[in-house]
Chains A and B, each alone.
Chain A
Amino acid sequence: MHSSRVIIASALIGVATLLPARAIDIQDFDLIQHGKYLADIGDCGACHTLLGSGAMLAGGRPIETPFGTLLGPNITPDPQTGIGAWTDNEFINSLTKGTGRNGTHLYPAMPYTYMTKITREDALAIRAYLNTIPAVHNPVQPNQLAFPFDVRAGLVAWDELNFRPGEFKPVAGKSPVWNRGAYVVEGLAHCGLCHTPKNAAGGDETSQRLKGYALQGWFAPDITNNKRRGIGSWSVDDIVTYLKTGHNRFSAASGPMAEAIMDSTSKFTDDDLKAIATYLKDQPVENAADEVGDLEASAMKSGSAIYADQCSACHAADGSGVDGLFPMLKGSPLVQSVDPASVLHVLLRGARSAATDPAPTAPAMPSFGRMLNDDEVAAVATYVRNAWGNRAPPVDAAAVGKTRHALEQRND
């Protein structure tokens, strides 16, 4: 028992233990493949590949921030417009410290606040892989921000407040699996970039880590072990299945999470997925009261009627859905999130769930934006958030109107 644990531990801690203590051979097949795996975990393409361009990691994809839009830079080996001419140290500084070539400071849309946790060996493996992808000549001007945010000088002060540099240090007393999960979640996979609430400066509210955040017209839900609003009712296997396939017996990923699963987490090893799940299941839970204020009986009544007509055919009269096909609304963290952005997004715009090799069906939720007015959407949202033992603040028509307007402005 003891010896097998040691083997798992050394396999999980990272490349350092796998590679001999000599100069790294950047042409080494294993290193490049390891770097490719790490780049998948980091989901570099989510910002650095323009959708539909076919030019992998050649930049140009718009990245929304609360302060304006940035464009993901070209990180192919092209010497002029990519990173081909960078030294390893320039690459590592940029990745883990936000210090770009020639001393420019990167915007923290590049999650160096997370990447700082990764080991130098892992960073070099990623570099080794990036050296091998097709070089694409594609000049990108990442900074599209308006004054004053276009001035990078302020970023030094930002770092003071929001950036804690330094490699991941395993937490004593926690298992190697837990520590591997922490390394992935808090580092390369940068889950908190979407799932952790932000302060006024856009930095992570570290006391609220992984408790959910609204962005890109969605609410990335609480992924702590909270039973109502988090993934407290999901087992480790449920989390693994979700991240691997995009679906599990409770839920289906759509929106930005569907993309993250298709491009990134579906490619993780089962060991890494278990490690992530183990770490998430151990995240401290906000013990907020379930008090959500008074529900209008009339909204619940009309919401119930709309639900019976429009929703129950798939999600079932009791909100139990269909395993792997139609999400279970009963007990759903997304449905019960305090911020109803995702529920409203799905109702108003519809959504297509993730397609993966093990779960290729990719069922979609139709858009009800044309069929239901703001009052009706508010009523049915309030209903699903409070039926079958669910509990979440009611949604009013004004909030639906605002969300509808905001979604209409979006071009995605």
Chain B
Amino acid sequence: MAKKLPAKDAVIVGLGWTGSILAHELCDAGLSVSAIERGPWRDPTAEFTPPVAQDELRFRIRHDLFLRPSQTSLTFRNNRDETALPVRTWGAFMLGNGVGGGGLHWNAETWRFLPSDFVLRSHLTQRYGAKFLPEDMTIQDWGITYDDLEPHYDRFEYLCGTSGTAGNVKGQIHDGGNPFEGPRSRPYPTPAQKQPFSHTLFANAARELGYKPFPQPSGNLSQAYTNPLGVKLGPCTYCGFCEWFACANYSKASPQTTILPVLVRKPNFEARTDCEVIRINLDNLGKRATGVTFVDTSGEEWEQPADLVLLCAFQLFNVQLLLLSGIGQPYEPRTGRGQIGRNFTHQTVSSAIGFFDKAKYNFNPFISSGSIGMCIDEFNGDNFDHGPLGFVGGGYLGQVQTNGRPMETTPVPPGTPAWGSEWKRAVRDNYLSTVYSGAGVHASWYAYRNNYLDLDPTYKDRFRRPLMRMTMDFHENELKMNAYLTDRYAEILEHMGAKQVVKQPRKGPYDITSYQTSHLCGGAIMGTTPGNSALNVYLQSWDVPNLFVQGASAFPQNAGYNPTGTVAALAYWSAAAIRSQYLKNPGPLVHA
């Protein structure tokens, strides 16, 4: 029997980016807020200091910041004919854990999606005709437009102090920025980061090939910045320990460096860490959430009643909690019916490695940051004519080499033995003179009928709850698109002067053990009707109106960008709707 805590106005499940944003917005509106976080409190100022933070073995290899698979995991299979098996060590994506969530260990690549990404199905259908899309592709429009989200993108970028060069301010195209981006209301809050040598050469080569390279928008700051909440960030030192790590210099935007210092001072905010929410509680009719039940480290069950429930966990766990709590209809791939688990997507990432003459090139790859890079957007979204190509989708290409860490970033030419003195010699010969961008091609993944999430029939977690089961594979459209983009990317490396270019296009089947990105999307998507979505456009559950589900689980499909900017913009968009509409008149914000 759970012990009951005093009721709160709002309870938040998960204290990462969206949990922190929502908690701040709701506290600011005067609500009492309790945030319940599965992992530990994480205080970078005490735990991740220089030079402790730059421990590649501890954080990169041994996954110190991440969820322990023994605490909870998921099962995986490529298709419905297979039996899914549990994941025992993370591979294709990393699951953050603790306060800050993914916002603590991200690379801080802070993109906006293209205006056409939000109206994807209508746009592609209009340009190429409905028949151009694969029959089982289930992409759809988001129900909102880029213009709806623009003020909220802006808010997040100014919260973070994002460093970049604007390409489009109020419709005016600016040299040096991304000419394809949607119009932004004002320039980035801080100038772009400085670019290392290889990134600069990449941009020169791209320019010579007729492209318009621009610096990747970065949450690792080019200069000190004080955000609108009064929180200060420092300038990045280009140490190259960003992704998988917490920043030791207050220079990577994270909940800890932008919101939490203000949030923890608010008397109407509390956080409970090392407490795992096991279900969202509903009233007898199943139409209203009454709060959540969580378990502490002693195994004690607690009930936190609340008028408003904000599901702010990682994509997978948002979907799992909906399924376990009996909210919405589980997706059924045979019929296409049901919304929870549908349109599950990831990212289609690939690269090419450029080996250069070491006598002529010294790239010093250790001078880097997680979101450094010179990119081109000519092959993203529908910025290029897909008609003759026979596929849809795309991504940005870039020299976005984020690090020169000694365990991870030791590229050697094909044919080199995997160990021994020859391998060592090859590492020595190539370390300084290789262009090696883990995600040089960062491309979209569109939704398909048979990529989905549901509850595993066999494997259970420590609370005897079924694990999430992911059924996922690449489709021909994505592989074709990726091969095309990888070729374009390799051309740029060749033009840079590489003596050898090794292409590494993404190949099927989807491999759960090889890292791509941690950008899992969908499963509880937003849309215009209960027939096409789990959530309305304000991220409010169609089934339980006092439940809002934040995060990339709401993306109908994934675009060719890193998702955090859009995740955060949606959180501010949803928070604005809660503050301006829902609190005045609690109930469905969109009538089905």
Q: Is B237 an interface residue (CB 8 A)?
A: yes
Among B50, B226, B232, B262, contact of A314 (Cβ-Cβ < 8 Å): B50
A325, B230: Cβ atoms closer than 8 Å: no
Contacts of B51 in A (CB 8 A): 309-310, 371
The reply to whether B230 and A322 contact each other, CB–CB distance below 8 Å, is: no
Q: Is A250 an interface residue (CB 8 A)?
A: no
Q: Which residues of B contact A360 (CB under 8 A)?
A: 229-231, 261-262, 265
Does A324 belong to the interface (CB within 8 Å)? yes
- Contacting chain B: which of A61-69, A145-153, A351-359, A380-388? A351-359
| Contact B265–A322 (Cβ < 8 Å) | no
Contact yes or no, A358 B230, CB < 8 A: yes
Q: Which residues of A contact B262 (CB under 8 A)?
A: 360
Give B38-57 as 1s and 0s: 1 = Cβ < 8 Å from A's Cβ atoms.
00000001100111100000
- Do A325 and B234 touch (CB < 8 A)? yes
Q: Is the CB of A361 within 8 A of B250?
A: yes
For residues 157 through 207 of chain B, which have their beta carbon under 8 Å from a beta carbon of chain A? none
Known: A322-B224, A352-B45. A313 touches B229 (CB 8 A): no
Q: Mark B226-264, 1 if CB is under 8 A from A, else 0.
A: 100111111101010000000011100000010001100
* From A355, A358, A361, A366, contact of B50 by CB (8 A): A366
- The answer to the question of A26 belonging to the interface, with a C-beta cut-off of 8 Å to chain B, is no
Chain B residues near A323 (CB-CB < 8 A): 224
Report the bound CA distance from A359 to B230 in whole Å: 6
State whether A366 touches B234 (Cβ < 8 A): no
Q: Are B232 and A324 in contact (CB under 8 A)?
A: yes
| CB-based nearest B residue for A324 | B232
Residues of B within 8 A of A371 (CB): 51
Bitwise, A80-107 to B at CB < 8 A (1) or not (0) is 0000000000000000000000000000
Residues of A within 8 A of B224 (CB): 322-325
Contacts of A355 in B (CB 8 A): 261, 265
Q: Decide if A322 touches B235 in the complex (CB within 8 Å).
A: yes
A366 to B360, CA, bound (A): 41
Determine if A313 and B265 form an interchain contact, defined as CB atoms under 8 angstroms apart: no
The residue on A at minimum CB distance from B47 is: A366
Closest Cβ–Cβ distance, residue B68 to chain A (whole Å): 26
- Asked whether A112 is an interface residue with its Cβ less than 8 Å from the other chain, the reply is no
Residue with the greatest number of chain A CB neighbours at <10 A, chosen from B49, B231, B250: B49
- Rounded to whole angstroms, the CA-CA distance of A361 and B248 in the bound complex is 14
**How many pairs of residues, A versus B, come closer than 8 Å at their CB atoms?**
62
Does A407 belong to the interface (CB within 8 Å)? no
A313, B250: Cβ atoms closer than 8 Å = no
User: Nearest chain B CB to A405's CB is how many angstroms away?
Assistant: 23
Question: For B231, what are the chain A residues with a Cβ–Cβ distance below 8 Å?
Answer: 360-361
B234 & A326 in contact (Cβ 8 Å cutoff): yes
Chain B contacts with A in 36-92, Cβ cutoff 8 A: 45-46, 49-52
Nearest A residue to B51, CB-CB: A310
Interface size class of B (residues with CB under 8 A): 20 to 34
Give the residues in chain A near B230, CB-CB below 8 Å: 357-361
CA distance A350 to B257 in the complex (A): 19
Please indicate the chain A residues that have their CB under 8 angstroms from the CB of B239 in the complex: 313
Contact between chains at A361 and B249 (CB < 8 Å): no
Q: In the assembled complex, which residues on chain B have CB atoms less than 8 Å from the CB atom of A362? A: 45, 261
Across the interface, which residues of A come within 8 angstroms of B249, CB to CB?
A: 313-314
B49–A366 CB distance below 8 A: yes
In the complex, A45 Cα to B465 Cα: how many Å?
50
Given the complex of chains A and B, what is the CA–CA distance between A364 and B51 in angstroms? 14
Contacts of B237 in A (CB 8 A): 313
B209-239: which have CB < 8 Å to A?
A: 224, 226, 229-235, 237, 239
> A364 — nearest CB in chain B belongs to which residue?
B45
* A203 within 8 A of partner (CB): no
1/0 contact string of A318-335 vs chain B (CB within 8 Å): 000011111000000000
Proximity string of chain A (296-340) to chain B, C-beta cutoff 8 Å, 1 when within and 0 when not:
000000000000011001100000001111100000000000000
Known A-B contacts A325-B250, A361-B250; the reply to A366 vs B52 at CB < 8 A is yes
- Residue of B52, B224, B257 with most partner-chain A CB within 10 A: B224
Give B227's nearest chain A residue, CB to CB.
A361
Question: A142 to chain B: which residues have CB within 8 Å?
Answer: none
Chain A 358-384, CB within 8 Å of chain B: the 1/0 string?
A: 111111101000010000000000000
**Docked pose: A362 CA to B233 CA in angstroms:** 11
List B1-60 residues whose CB lies under 8 Å from chain A.
45-46, 49-52
Chain B CB within 10 Å — which of A350, A355, A359, A363 has the most?
Answer: A363
In contact, B45 and A313 (Cβ under 8 angstroms) = no
Closest to B229 in A: A360
- Contact present for B261 and A314 (CB under 8 Å): no
Q: How far is the CA of A131 from the CA of B290 in the complex (A)?
A: 43
CA distance A360 to B24 in the complex (A): 14
Complex CA gap A324/B261 in Å reads 14
CB proximity of A34 to chain B, nearest CB, Å = 25
| A357 to B229 alpha-carbon distance, docked (Å) | 10
Residue of B nearest to A323 (CB): B224
Which residues of B are found within 8 Å of A326, using beta-carbon distances?
A: 234
- Min C-beta distance of A255 to chain B, whole Å: 15
Contacts of A350 in B (CB 8 A): 46, 49
A180-216 interface with B by 8 A CB criterion = none
Complex Cα distance A322/B236, Å? Answer: 11
Partner of A363, one of B52, B235, B250: B250
Neighbouring A residues of B234 by C-beta, 8 Å: 314, 322, 325-326
A–B Cβ pairs within 8 angstroms, 18 of them: A310-B51, A313-B237, A313-B239, A324-B224, A324-B226, A325-B233, A325-B234, A350-B46, A350-B49, A352-B45, A358-B230, A359-B232, A360-B231, A360-B261, A360-B265, A361-B250, A361-B261, A364-B46
| Other contacts beyond A350-B49, A362-B261, A364-B46: 10, CB < 8 A | A310-B50, A310-B51, A313-B248, A314-B50, A322-B234, A360-B262, A361-B230, A362-B45, A363-B232, A366-B49
**Which B residues are closer than 8 A to A by beta carbons?**
45-46, 49-52, 224, 226, 229-235, 237, 239, 248-250, 257, 261-262, 265
List the 10 closest pairs (A to B, CB-CB), nearest first: A366-B49, A364-B45, A360-B261, A361-B232, A313-B237, A325-B232, A322-B234, A322-B224, A313-B50, A360-B262
